[in-house]
Amino acid sequence: MDEKYEIGAELKTVWLGRRAEYFSIVSSTADLCYELAEKGAPSGTVVIAERQTEGKGRNGSRWQESVNALHFAVLLRTDCPAKKALSLAPVTLVGLSRGLLYYPGLAFSIDWPNDLFADERKFGAILTEMNVENDFAHDAVISVNLNISSAGLPGDLQAFSCGMEDVLGCAVDKKELLCRLLLGLESAYDQFLNGQTAQLFEEWRDRARCVGKTVTIATSDGQLQGEVIGLSDDGFLLLDLGRGKAAKIISGKILS
């Protein structure tokens, strides 16, 4: 265990991160978080690492990290219908946004369904995984990956990815950053767990780079093209298809 990110003395949350495990390098923060969940870890447990050897991306891909990054995974005992838990992705992005407001020079934005952008380049992403039984999500593990700098990123990603320090032009204290992110996440998760999602979805809309744009989205049922309106009442992407038609997108990928 690495003591570098011990945050107990600086953390201002009530329940999120009050149990935390710290590591210099792990295979996957999400996998370790699941192991702790199986051993009875409480909601709000966090696994933190500076490096991952098998970091997870969407659809089975791997997260391509820089040499200066922050990775953590959060355990939530959701105990709610799986359909409701699907909105944890936008809720998490809003929570992270609240923490990132302490860095005004970052001028970040959200990209559907799970990315964070600054200077038109991606610097962070999340992944939500759930333990679902009979359409009921008993718990969820949300992993967060942030590049602090772009050093060490593969050459083919340099034009599309960045780190916070690249944009800010100054060093970022990772312990301070983590504390601010966890505080923002706790406020968002409290609202989610209490069913108060309207403000969360409005905040998402205000920060989403795709809102108001005409996009093509690849879904499991094929491609759809339309203007992004925002989020539905249950947290799914709303697409105006024209001629009075609209679609709710549960999952997919924006192609253009």
pLDDT in tens, 92-121: 999 999 999 999 999 999 999 999 999 899
129 is a domain residue: yes
pLDDT of residue 11: 93
User: What is the pLDDT averaged over residues 217-245?
Assistant: 91
**Would you say residue 53 has pLDDT above 80?**
yes
CATH number of residue 127's parent domain: 3.30.930.10
- At residue 173's C-alpha, the angle toward residues 21 and 12, to 5°, is 60
Average pLDDT of every residue of the chain: 90
Within 10 angstroms of residue 17's Cβ, the number of other Cβ atoms is 24
6 is a domain residue: no
Could you tell me the pLDDT band of residue 152, with boundaries at 50, 70 and 90?
confident
Could you tell me the pLDDT band of residue 1, with boundaries at 50, 70 and 90?
very low
pTM of the model: 0.92
User: What is the pLDDT averaged over residues 175-198?
Assistant: 96
pLDDT of residue 55: 61
Q: Which domain holds residue 232?
A: 214-254
**Would you say residue 122 has pLDDT above 80?**
yes
SS (HEC) of the chain: CCCCCCCCCCCCCCCCCCCEEEEEEECCHHHHHHHHHHCCCCCCCEEEEEEECCCECHHHCECCCCCCEEEEEEEECCCEEHHHHCCHHHHHHHHHHHHHCCCHHHCEEEECCCEEEECCEEEEEEEEEEEEECCEEEEEEEEEEEECCCCCCCHHHCCCECCHHHHHCCCCCHHHHHHHHHHHHHHHHHHHHCCCCHHHHHHHHHHECCCCCEEEEEECCEEEEEEEEEECCCCCEEEEEECCEEEEECCCEECC
pLDDT of residue 65: 65
Same domain, 185 and 242: no
**Closest to 184 (Cα-Cα) out of 170, 200, 162, 207:** 200
Same domain, 109 and 175: yes
Same domain, 203 and 224: no
14 is a domain residue: no
CATH number of residue 224's parent domain: 2.30.30
**Would you say residue 18 has pLDDT above 60?**
yes
Domain boundary among 207, 225, 245: 207
Same domain, 49 and 102: yes
pLDDT of residue 255: 87
pLDDT of residue 215: 94
**Would you say residue 56 has pLDDT above 70?**
no
**Would you say residue 59 has pLDDT above 60?**
no
**Would you say residue 12 has pLDDT above 90?**
yes
Could you tell me the pLDDT band of residue 3, with boundaries at 50, 70 and 90?
low
User: What is the pLDDT averaged over residues 210-215?
Assistant: 94
Same domain, 181 and 237: no
User: What is the pLDDT averaged over residues 70-96?
Assistant: 94
Tell me how many domains the chain contains: 2
Same domain, 131 and 241: no
218 is a domain residue: yes
**Would you say residue 239 has pLDDT above 90?**
yes
